[in-house]
Structure 1
Amino acid sequence: MQGGAPTTRFASRPGRNALENDLRRFHVIQKNGRPDHPTTQGKVERFQQAMKKWLQAQPAQPGTLAELQTLLDEFAEHYNHQRPHRSLPHQATPASRYDALPKALPSGSRDDETHDRIRHDRIDTSGVVTLRIAGRLHHIGIGRTHARTHVILLIHDLHVRVVDAATGELLRELEINTERDYQPQK
Protein backbone atom coordinates (compact mmCIF):
# COMPACT_ATOMS: atom_id res chain seq x y z
CA MET A 1 0.00 0.00 0.00
CA GLN A 2 1.18 3.49 -0.73
CA GLY A 3 1.30 6.15 1.96
CA GLY A 4 -1.70 8.19 2.97
CA ALA A 5 -4.61 8.00 5.34
CA PRO A 6 -6.64 4.80 5.52
CA THR A 7 -9.72 6.77 4.50
CA THR A 8 -10.54 9.96 2.64
CA ARG A 9 -14.02 10.08 4.16
CA PHE A 10 -13.14 13.17 6.23
CA ALA A 11 -10.88 14.82 3.64
CA SER A 12 -11.62 18.24 2.21
CA ARG A 13 -11.72 16.63 -1.26
CA PRO A 14 -13.39 13.25 -0.73
CA GLY A 15 -12.89 10.31 -3.06
CA ARG A 16 -11.38 6.89 -2.79
CA ASN A 17 -7.71 6.45 -1.94
CA ALA A 18 -5.59 3.46 -2.98
CA LEU A 19 -6.46 1.40 0.13
CA GLU A 20 -10.18 2.00 -0.32
CA ASN A 21 -9.94 0.91 -3.96
CA ASP A 22 -8.01 -2.25 -3.01
CA LEU A 23 -10.62 -3.10 -0.36
CA ARG A 24 -13.41 -2.63 -2.89
CA ARG A 25 -11.59 -4.81 -5.44
CA PHE A 26 -11.39 -7.60 -2.82
CA HIS A 27 -15.08 -7.07 -1.92
CA VAL A 28 -14.25 -5.83 1.60
CA ILE A 29 -16.58 -3.29 3.18
CA GLN A 30 -14.56 -0.74 5.14
CA LYS A 31 -16.01 0.57 8.38
CA ASN A 32 -14.30 3.45 10.14
CA GLY A 33 -14.78 4.75 13.64
CA ARG A 34 -15.34 8.46 14.09
CA PRO A 35 -12.09 10.25 14.89
CA ASP A 36 -11.71 12.00 18.25
CA HIS A 37 -14.64 10.10 19.79
CA PRO A 38 -13.32 7.87 22.59
CA THR A 39 -16.70 6.22 23.12
CA THR A 40 -16.60 4.96 19.53
CA GLN A 41 -13.09 3.60 19.99
CA GLY A 42 -13.76 2.30 23.51
CA LYS A 43 -13.75 -1.42 22.73
CA VAL A 44 -10.35 -1.26 21.07
CA GLU A 45 -8.96 0.92 23.85
CA ARG A 46 -10.35 -1.45 26.50
CA PHE A 47 -8.79 -4.45 24.74
CA GLN A 48 -5.42 -2.70 24.54
CA GLN A 49 -5.62 -1.78 28.23
CA ALA A 50 -6.36 -5.41 29.17
CA MET A 51 -3.49 -6.62 27.01
CA LYS A 52 -1.00 -4.15 28.52
CA LYS A 53 -2.00 -5.07 32.09
CA TRP A 54 -1.73 -8.79 31.32
CA LEU A 55 1.71 -8.35 29.70
CA GLN A 56 3.00 -6.28 32.64
CA ALA A 57 1.79 -8.93 35.11
CA GLN A 58 3.80 -11.71 33.47
CA PRO A 59 6.77 -12.81 35.61
CA ALA A 60 9.05 -13.31 32.60
CA GLN A 61 9.17 -10.16 30.48
CA PRO A 62 10.10 -10.62 26.80
CA GLY A 63 13.61 -9.74 25.66
CA THR A 64 13.09 -10.38 21.93
CA LEU A 65 10.33 -9.93 19.39
CA ALA A 66 9.86 -13.72 19.23
CA GLU A 67 9.33 -13.87 23.00
CA LEU A 68 6.89 -10.95 22.81
CA GLN A 69 4.97 -12.72 20.02
CA THR A 70 4.76 -15.87 22.15
CA LEU A 71 3.30 -13.83 25.03
CA LEU A 72 0.84 -12.08 22.69
CA ASP A 73 -0.32 -15.47 21.38
CA GLU A 74 -0.81 -16.67 24.99
CA PHE A 75 -2.80 -13.50 25.75
CA ALA A 76 -5.04 -13.99 22.69
CA GLU A 77 -5.74 -17.58 23.75
CA HIS A 78 -6.49 -16.48 27.34
CA TYR A 79 -8.60 -13.45 26.29
CA ASN A 80 -10.71 -15.32 23.72
CA HIS A 81 -11.08 -18.79 25.28
CA GLN A 82 -10.61 -18.55 29.07
CA ARG A 83 -11.25 -15.06 30.42
CA PRO A 84 -14.97 -14.39 31.17
CA HIS A 85 -16.22 -11.04 29.88
CA ARG A 86 -18.61 -9.01 32.00
CA SER A 87 -20.18 -7.43 28.91
CA LEU A 88 -21.24 -10.79 27.45
CA PRO A 89 -24.31 -12.75 28.59
CA HIS A 90 -23.47 -15.17 31.40
CA GLN A 91 -19.92 -13.77 31.33
CA ALA A 92 -19.15 -15.91 28.30
CA THR A 93 -15.85 -15.86 26.47
CA PRO A 94 -15.58 -14.19 23.04
CA ALA A 95 -14.81 -17.57 21.43
CA SER A 96 -17.98 -19.17 22.82
CA ARG A 97 -20.08 -16.25 21.58
CA TYR A 98 -18.38 -16.30 18.18
CA ASP A 99 -18.89 -20.06 17.78
CA ALA A 100 -22.59 -19.75 18.68
CA LEU A 101 -23.42 -17.07 16.10
CA PRO A 102 -24.24 -17.70 12.43
CA LYS A 103 -21.36 -16.70 10.18
CA ALA A 104 -21.61 -14.00 7.56
CA LEU A 105 -21.27 -15.10 3.98
CA PRO A 106 -20.04 -13.08 1.00
CA SER A 107 -22.87 -10.93 -0.25
CA GLY A 108 -21.83 -11.39 -3.85
CA SER A 109 -20.13 -9.00 -6.16
CA ARG A 110 -19.75 -5.33 -5.32
CA ASP A 111 -19.52 -4.54 -9.02
CA ASP A 112 -23.02 -3.07 -8.91
CA GLU A 113 -21.92 -0.43 -6.38
CA THR A 114 -21.16 2.97 -7.79
CA HIS A 115 -19.18 5.92 -6.55
CA ASP A 116 -21.01 9.22 -7.01
CA ARG A 117 -19.88 12.65 -5.93
CA ILE A 118 -20.21 16.32 -6.79
CA ARG A 119 -17.25 18.65 -6.74
CA HIS A 120 -17.08 22.43 -7.09
CA ASP A 121 -13.89 23.77 -8.65
CA ARG A 122 -12.49 26.42 -10.98
CA ILE A 123 -10.83 25.83 -14.34
CA ASP A 124 -7.21 27.00 -14.20
CA THR A 125 -5.61 29.54 -16.54
CA SER A 126 -4.52 26.83 -18.98
CA GLY A 127 -8.08 25.54 -19.36
CA VAL A 128 -7.70 22.45 -17.19
CA VAL A 129 -9.51 21.14 -14.12
CA THR A 130 -8.10 18.35 -11.95
CA LEU A 131 -9.82 15.33 -10.44
CA ARG A 132 -8.39 12.70 -8.11
CA ILE A 133 -9.49 9.13 -8.77
CA ALA A 134 -8.10 6.17 -6.84
CA GLY A 135 -5.46 8.41 -5.28
CA ARG A 136 -4.19 9.59 -8.68
CA LEU A 137 -4.62 13.10 -10.03
CA HIS A 138 -6.06 13.43 -13.54
CA HIS A 139 -6.05 16.66 -15.56
CA ILE A 140 -9.16 17.22 -17.67
CA GLY A 141 -8.81 19.56 -20.64
CA ILE A 142 -11.76 21.93 -20.98
CA GLY A 143 -10.27 24.74 -23.09
CA ARG A 144 -8.64 28.10 -22.45
CA THR A 145 -11.82 29.92 -23.42
CA HIS A 146 -13.24 28.70 -20.10
CA ALA A 147 -10.21 29.67 -17.97
CA ARG A 148 -11.16 30.76 -14.43
CA THR A 149 -14.75 29.55 -14.91
CA HIS A 150 -16.36 28.10 -11.80
CA VAL A 151 -17.55 24.59 -12.56
CA ILE A 152 -19.38 21.68 -10.98
CA LEU A 153 -18.03 18.20 -11.63
CA LEU A 154 -20.65 15.45 -11.54
CA ILE A 155 -18.78 12.18 -11.04
CA HIS A 156 -20.27 8.71 -11.44
CA ASP A 157 -17.41 6.21 -11.13
CA LEU A 158 -15.23 7.12 -14.15
CA HIS A 159 -17.96 9.05 -15.98
CA VAL A 160 -17.51 12.81 -15.48
CA ARG A 161 -19.61 15.80 -16.53
CA VAL A 162 -18.14 19.28 -16.18
CA VAL A 163 -20.86 21.93 -15.92
CA ASP A 164 -20.53 25.73 -15.84
CA ALA A 165 -21.67 26.63 -12.31
CA ALA A 166 -23.18 29.96 -13.39
CA THR A 167 -25.04 28.95 -16.56
CA GLY A 168 -25.55 25.19 -16.21
CA GLU A 169 -23.94 24.66 -19.63
CA LEU A 170 -22.33 21.25 -20.11
CA LEU A 171 -18.68 22.03 -20.92
CA ARG A 172 -17.34 18.48 -21.13
CA GLU A 173 -18.49 14.91 -20.68
CA LEU A 174 -16.01 12.04 -20.64
CA GLU A 175 -14.96 8.66 -19.29
CA ILE A 176 -11.68 9.02 -17.38
CA ASN A 177 -8.90 6.96 -18.95
CA THR A 178 -7.13 5.78 -15.79
CA GLU A 179 -4.00 4.94 -17.82
CA ARG A 180 -3.48 8.64 -18.65
CA ASP A 181 -2.80 11.66 -16.47
CA TYR A 182 -4.04 14.23 -19.01
CA GLN A 183 -7.52 13.76 -20.47
CA PRO A 184 -7.35 15.67 -23.76
CA GLN A 185 -10.33 17.09 -25.60
CA LYS A 186 -11.34 15.07 -28.63
Structure 2
Amino acid sequence: MSKARLVITAVVVEGRSPSEVARTYRVARSWVYALVARYRTEGEAAFEPRSRRPAARPGQTPTQTVELVVNLRRSLTRQGLDAGPVTIAWHLQHHHHITLSRATIYRILRRAELVTPEPRKKPRSSYIRFQAEQPNETWQSDFTHWRLANGVDVEILTWLDDHSRYALSVTAHLRVTGRIVVDTFRAATEQHGIPFSTLTDNGLVFTTRFSQGGLTSRNGFETELVRLRVRQKNSRPNHPTTCGKVERFQQTMKRW
Protein backbone atom coordinates (compact mmCIF):
# COMPACT_ATOMS: atom_id res chain seq x y z
CA MET A 1 0.00 0.00 0.00
CA SER A 2 1.36 3.42 -0.96
CA LYS A 3 2.05 6.06 1.67
CA ALA A 4 -0.49 8.37 0.01
CA ARG A 5 -3.23 5.77 0.52
CA LEU A 6 -2.22 5.27 4.16
CA VAL A 7 -2.29 9.00 4.86
CA ILE A 8 -5.66 9.57 3.19
CA THR A 9 -7.19 6.55 4.93
CA ALA A 10 -5.93 7.72 8.33
CA VAL A 11 -7.52 11.17 7.93
CA VAL A 12 -10.72 10.40 6.00
CA VAL A 13 -11.66 6.93 7.30
CA GLU A 14 -10.09 6.84 10.77
CA GLY A 15 -10.79 10.50 11.51
CA ARG A 16 -7.30 11.31 12.77
CA SER A 17 -6.01 14.87 12.64
CA PRO A 18 -3.59 15.90 9.86
CA SER A 19 -0.97 16.89 12.44
CA GLU A 20 -1.06 13.46 14.09
CA VAL A 21 -0.88 11.66 10.74
CA ALA A 22 2.04 13.84 9.64
CA ARG A 23 3.98 12.93 12.81
CA THR A 24 3.14 9.23 12.50
CA TYR A 25 4.28 8.87 8.90
CA ARG A 26 7.02 11.51 9.13
CA VAL A 27 5.72 13.66 6.30
CA ALA A 28 4.99 17.36 5.98
CA ARG A 29 1.61 18.47 7.31
CA SER A 30 1.08 20.53 4.16
CA TRP A 31 1.42 17.34 2.09
CA VAL A 32 -1.27 15.66 4.20
CA TYR A 33 -3.66 18.56 3.57
CA ALA A 34 -2.83 18.47 -0.16
CA LEU A 35 -3.52 14.71 -0.37
CA VAL A 36 -6.85 15.00 1.41
CA ALA A 37 -7.92 17.92 -0.80
CA ARG A 38 -6.91 15.98 -3.91
CA TYR A 39 -8.89 12.93 -2.72
CA ARG A 40 -12.03 14.97 -2.17
CA THR A 41 -11.68 16.45 -5.66
CA GLU A 42 -10.45 13.49 -7.71
CA GLY A 43 -11.52 10.45 -5.68
CA GLU A 44 -9.54 7.23 -6.20
CA ALA A 45 -7.18 8.94 -8.67
CA ALA A 46 -5.53 10.67 -5.71
CA PHE A 47 -3.98 7.33 -4.69
CA GLU A 48 -1.95 7.07 -7.91
CA PRO A 49 1.65 8.41 -7.88
CA ARG A 50 2.14 11.62 -9.84
CA SER A 51 4.99 12.62 -12.10
CA ARG A 52 7.51 15.01 -10.59
CA ARG A 53 8.42 16.40 -13.97
CA PRO A 54 8.22 20.22 -13.91
CA ALA A 55 5.31 21.81 -15.72
CA ALA A 56 7.69 24.15 -17.56
CA ARG A 57 11.33 23.74 -18.67
CA PRO A 58 12.73 27.22 -19.30
CA GLY A 59 16.22 25.81 -19.94
CA GLN A 60 15.10 23.46 -22.72
CA THR A 61 16.68 24.04 -26.13
CA PRO A 62 14.14 25.68 -28.48
CA THR A 63 12.70 23.46 -31.20
CA GLN A 64 14.03 25.77 -33.94
CA THR A 65 17.57 25.40 -32.56
CA VAL A 66 17.25 21.62 -32.38
CA GLU A 67 16.15 21.52 -36.03
CA LEU A 68 19.06 23.80 -36.98
CA VAL A 69 21.58 21.47 -35.29
CA VAL A 70 20.13 18.45 -37.13
CA ASN A 71 20.16 20.28 -40.48
CA LEU A 72 23.77 21.42 -39.96
CA ARG A 73 24.81 17.86 -39.19
CA ARG A 74 23.23 16.54 -42.37
CA SER A 75 24.51 19.40 -44.54
CA LEU A 76 28.12 19.11 -43.33
CA THR A 77 28.03 15.33 -43.74
CA ARG A 78 26.79 15.62 -47.35
CA GLN A 79 29.68 17.99 -48.11
CA GLY A 80 32.20 15.53 -46.70
CA LEU A 81 33.16 17.93 -43.90
CA ASP A 82 33.62 17.32 -40.20
CA ALA A 83 30.17 17.31 -38.58
CA GLY A 84 31.00 16.76 -34.92
CA PRO A 85 29.68 18.82 -31.98
CA VAL A 86 32.70 21.17 -31.99
CA THR A 87 32.25 22.08 -35.66
CA ILE A 88 28.48 22.46 -35.31
CA ALA A 89 29.00 24.72 -32.27
CA TRP A 90 31.35 26.90 -34.33
CA HIS A 91 28.80 27.26 -37.16
CA LEU A 92 26.02 28.06 -34.68
CA GLN A 93 28.06 30.79 -33.00
CA HIS A 94 29.58 32.41 -36.10
CA HIS A 95 26.72 32.09 -38.59
CA HIS A 96 23.61 32.02 -36.41
CA HIS A 97 24.76 33.80 -33.20
CA ILE A 98 23.62 30.84 -31.07
CA THR A 99 25.76 29.39 -28.28
CA LEU A 100 25.32 25.73 -27.34
CA SER A 101 27.65 23.45 -25.42
CA ARG A 102 29.18 20.42 -27.10
CA ALA A 103 27.34 18.16 -24.66
CA THR A 104 23.97 19.68 -25.61
CA ILE A 105 24.71 19.28 -29.32
CA TYR A 106 25.75 15.66 -28.78
CA ARG A 107 22.50 14.91 -26.91
CA ILE A 108 20.47 16.47 -29.74
CA LEU A 109 22.30 14.38 -32.35
CA ARG A 110 21.91 11.24 -30.27
CA ARG A 111 18.16 11.75 -29.82
CA ALA A 112 17.89 12.29 -33.59
CA GLU A 113 19.79 8.99 -34.10
CA LEU A 114 22.51 10.78 -36.09
CA VAL A 115 25.37 9.38 -34.00
CA THR A 116 26.16 5.87 -32.86
CA PRO A 117 27.10 5.73 -29.16
CA GLU A 118 30.56 4.21 -28.75
CA PRO A 119 31.48 1.63 -26.11
CA ARG A 120 32.75 3.16 -22.91
CA LYS A 121 36.43 3.96 -23.29
CA LYS A 122 39.20 4.00 -20.74
CA PRO A 123 39.32 7.32 -18.88
CA ARG A 124 41.88 9.79 -20.14
CA SER A 125 43.44 9.80 -16.68
CA SER A 126 44.66 6.25 -17.38
CA TYR A 127 46.73 7.36 -20.39
CA ILE A 128 50.49 7.53 -19.94
CA ARG A 129 51.45 10.97 -21.21
CA PHE A 130 54.88 11.67 -22.63
CA GLN A 131 56.67 14.46 -24.43
CA ALA A 132 60.14 14.79 -25.89
CA GLU A 133 62.29 17.03 -23.72
CA GLN A 134 63.78 19.02 -26.60
CA PRO A 135 63.21 19.72 -30.32
CA ASN A 136 64.37 17.06 -32.78
CA GLU A 137 64.39 14.44 -30.05
CA THR A 138 61.45 12.62 -31.65
CA TRP A 139 59.46 13.14 -34.84
CA GLN A 140 55.99 11.65 -35.18
CA SER A 141 54.53 10.78 -38.57
CA ASP A 142 51.25 9.51 -39.97
CA PHE A 143 49.04 9.94 -43.01
CA THR A 144 45.29 10.33 -43.35
CA HIS A 145 42.69 10.26 -46.11
CA TRP A 146 40.86 13.34 -47.42
CA ARG A 147 38.51 14.02 -50.33
CA LEU A 148 39.08 17.29 -52.17
CA ALA A 149 36.29 19.61 -53.32
CA ASN A 150 36.62 18.22 -56.87
CA GLY A 151 36.01 14.68 -55.61
CA VAL A 152 39.63 13.50 -55.84
CA ASP A 153 40.79 11.30 -52.94
CA VAL A 154 44.22 12.11 -51.53
CA GLU A 155 46.38 11.00 -48.62
CA ILE A 156 48.02 13.67 -46.44
CA LEU A 157 51.40 12.79 -44.90
CA THR A 158 52.53 14.73 -41.83
CA TRP A 159 55.85 14.98 -39.96
CA LEU A 160 55.48 16.57 -36.51
CA ASP A 161 58.05 17.46 -33.85
CA ASP A 162 57.02 15.71 -30.61
CA HIS A 163 58.39 18.43 -28.33
CA SER A 164 57.06 21.60 -29.98
CA ARG A 165 54.12 20.11 -31.98
CA TYR A 166 55.55 22.03 -34.92
CA ALA A 167 54.44 20.67 -38.31
CA LEU A 168 57.74 19.98 -40.05
CA SER A 169 56.15 18.75 -43.28
CA VAL A 170 52.57 18.39 -44.55
CA THR A 171 52.16 17.06 -48.09
CA ALA A 172 49.25 15.62 -50.10
CA HIS A 173 49.58 12.67 -52.49
CA LEU A 174 47.26 10.46 -54.49
CA ARG A 175 48.76 7.58 -52.52
CA VAL A 176 51.45 7.59 -49.85
CA THR A 177 54.21 5.13 -50.76
CA GLY A 178 57.47 4.12 -49.13
CA ARG A 179 59.38 6.28 -51.60
CA ILE A 180 57.30 9.33 -50.66
CA VAL A 181 57.91 8.71 -46.94
CA VAL A 182 61.67 8.66 -47.53
CA ASP A 183 61.63 11.75 -49.77
CA THR A 184 59.56 13.86 -47.37
CA PHE A 185 61.68 12.72 -44.42
CA ARG A 186 64.88 13.72 -46.23
CA ALA A 187 63.41 17.09 -47.19
CA ALA A 188 62.44 17.73 -43.56
CA THR A 189 65.90 16.78 -42.28
CA GLU A 190 67.55 19.13 -44.77
CA GLN A 191 65.47 22.00 -43.41
CA HIS A 192 65.25 21.13 -39.69
CA GLY A 193 68.15 18.76 -39.02
CA ILE A 194 68.24 15.03 -38.26
CA PRO A 195 66.07 13.82 -35.35
CA PHE A 196 67.30 11.47 -32.65
CA SER A 197 64.30 9.16 -33.17
CA THR A 198 61.02 8.71 -35.04
CA LEU A 199 57.65 7.46 -33.80
CA THR A 200 55.07 6.00 -36.21
CA ASP A 201 52.48 3.26 -36.40
CA ASN A 202 53.20 -0.12 -38.03
CA GLY A 203 52.16 0.74 -41.59
CA LEU A 204 54.26 -0.95 -44.26
CA VAL A 205 55.47 2.40 -45.55
CA PHE A 206 57.14 2.91 -42.15
CA THR A 207 58.25 -0.61 -41.15
CA THR A 208 58.14 -4.24 -42.28
CA ARG A 209 59.14 -5.69 -38.91
CA PHE A 210 55.58 -6.58 -37.94
CA SER A 211 54.19 -7.53 -41.35
CA GLN A 212 52.12 -10.71 -41.52
CA GLY A 213 53.75 -11.70 -44.78
CA GLY A 214 56.96 -12.50 -42.99
CA LEU A 215 59.11 -9.84 -44.66
CA THR A 216 62.61 -9.88 -43.21
CA SER A 217 64.35 -7.15 -45.21
CA ARG A 218 64.15 -3.47 -44.29
CA ASN A 219 62.06 -1.11 -46.37
CA GLY A 220 63.39 2.19 -47.72
CA PHE A 221 62.49 4.23 -44.64
CA GLU A 222 64.07 1.76 -42.23
CA THR A 223 67.21 1.68 -44.36
CA GLU A 224 67.37 5.48 -44.33
CA LEU A 225 67.06 5.57 -40.52
CA VAL A 226 69.88 3.04 -40.15
CA ARG A 227 72.05 5.11 -42.49
CA LEU A 228 71.43 8.27 -40.45
CA ARG A 229 71.65 6.39 -37.12
CA VAL A 230 68.14 7.47 -36.16
CA ARG A 231 66.31 5.33 -33.62
CA GLN A 232 62.99 3.95 -34.89
CA LYS A 233 60.04 3.58 -32.51
CA ASN A 234 56.65 2.11 -33.41
CA SER A 235 53.35 2.11 -31.55
CA ARG A 236 51.67 -1.11 -30.53
CA PRO A 237 48.82 -2.32 -32.77
CA ASN A 238 45.43 -0.75 -31.97
CA HIS A 239 47.01 1.95 -29.78
CA PRO A 240 46.57 5.20 -31.77
CA THR A 241 47.04 7.31 -28.62
CA THR A 242 50.77 6.52 -28.73
CA CYS A 243 50.99 8.76 -31.81
CA GLY A 244 48.35 11.04 -30.37
CA LYS A 245 50.06 14.34 -31.20
CA VAL A 246 50.14 13.78 -34.95
CA GLU A 247 46.68 12.16 -34.82
CA ARG A 248 45.31 15.25 -33.07
CA PHE A 249 47.02 17.54 -35.58
CA GLN A 250 45.30 15.68 -38.42
CA GLN A 251 41.90 16.04 -36.75
CA THR A 252 42.40 19.78 -36.37
CA MET A 253 43.60 20.08 -39.97
CA LYS A 254 40.49 18.30 -41.26
CA ARG A 255 38.19 20.40 -39.11
CA TRP A 256 39.48 23.78 -40.27
Q: Could you state the TM-score of these two structures normalised by the residue count of structure 1?
A: 0.24
Higher strand share: 1
Structure of greater Rg:
2
Q: Could you state the TM-score of these two structures normalised by the residue count of structure 2?
A: 0.18
Relative contact order, higher structure (CA 8 A, sep 6+): 1
